[in-house]
Amino acid sequence: MSTRPRITFDEDGRCNACQWSEEKKEFDWKARKQELKENLEKFTVNSDNYKVIVPVSGGKDGSYIAHKLKADYGIEPLCVTVRPPLETKIGQENVYNFVNSGFSHIHVSPDDQAMAALNKYGFTEMGFPYYGWLICIHTAVLQIAKRFNIGLIFYAEDGEIEYGGSIEKKFQSTYDVNYQRKVYLESGYEKVLEKANLDDSQLFWFKFPSEEDCKNIVLTHWSYYEPWDSYRNYLVAKEHCGLKETEDTNTGTFTNFAQNDQALYALHAYLMYLKFGFGRATQDAGIEIRRGAMTRDLAISLVNLYDNNYPENFLELYLDYYKMDENEFNSIIDKWVNKELFEKINGRWQPTFTIK
């Protein structure tokens, strides 16, 4: 969608995600694999025990990366999970299955009150319902890297490159904390922590290490080093790491094997749809089309069927978590709607556009 932040199009109307999906078919991945080996040597030379950190949720991508590092490169990663708010049963099960498949693991459970306060502020003031957790999956991992003297952290795919965003890092294998704060935290980090008005002890896992400490930690995406394929990751994680999918499709989409760890993702996807006109089904369909597994006609049908999905099944859970009634909850949602793309009919927002 042209409304996606930081997306660009070429003269033929192709977005940068589609351009990259074609380009990487002819790409020299051998050179990138060699760069991976060099980075593994260069940025782990001062590490004492564990050489790298892989943030994991028990889902497909972190599991895949951890498995590849261990199986193909002989590196035992230290895997870190930040417990999500409104954690699901299958999410818990997948984390334990992953650990039991043979990995060293730290499970971080941040202060519940702080997490809820930051998430509520993110929802009401930024339209970002799990902003506190988003902060923590970066800051907590960095805090652990500092304490274990680990200099290299592997995140999964670079969503900016893979899904149509900034191409600033297209040919750079590593990035730093400043880029992380600007792009992934959308430059809202300081404002949210200031408004939360919480004790420093409650905010420990939500704070970045000092600037000096952060200089010793390098961040990278596994998608830089090989063609990214989330479905392949799912199959590998299922075979080697005990990954389970849900029995039914996930709220707002036609897939059942991704983003299963928490209930708040459905609200995040719905707000994304109301802000930009594309939701979880559009994201998933785009991925399937680009990897050649789905026709555009089928994708359009699925998007029209799934994208505009008010997360009714989680509503009571959300109201209890944010401590608000349904009217207040819906008024906050209304605040973030792009009125050029939607109109309210019978109490629910409906698109004024058509996907063709």
DSSP codes of every residue in 38-89:
HHHHHTSTT-SS--EEEE--SSHHHHHHHHHHHHHH---PEEEEEPPTTB-H
Classify 101 as helix, strand or coil.
coil
CATH number of 28-230: 3.40.50
Per-residue pLDDT, 187: 67
Q: Where are the domains of the chain?
A: 28-230, 250-351
DSSP β-ladder status, 78-82 and 174-175 = unpaired
Q: How confident is the model at residue 338 (pLDDT cuts 50, 70, 90)?
A: very high
| 107-161 confidence digits (pLDDT tens) | 999 999 999 999 999 999 999 999 999 999 999 999 999 999 999 999 999 999 9
Rounded mean pLDDT of 45-55? Answer: 87
38: pLDDT strictly greater than 90: yes
DSSP β-ladder status, 52-55 and 152-155 = parallel
What predicted TM-score, i.e. pTM, was given to this entire model?
A: 0.94
Rounded CA separation 258/314 (Å): 17
Rounded CA separation 67/34 (Å): 19
Rounded mean pLDDT of 309-322? Answer: 96
How far, in whole angstroms, is CA 173 from its chain's centroid? Answer: 19
Rounded CA separation 74/71 (Å): 6
179: pLDDT strictly greater than 90: no
Q: How confident is the model at residue 66 (pLDDT cuts 50, 70, 90)?
A: very high
106: pLDDT strictly greater than 90: yes
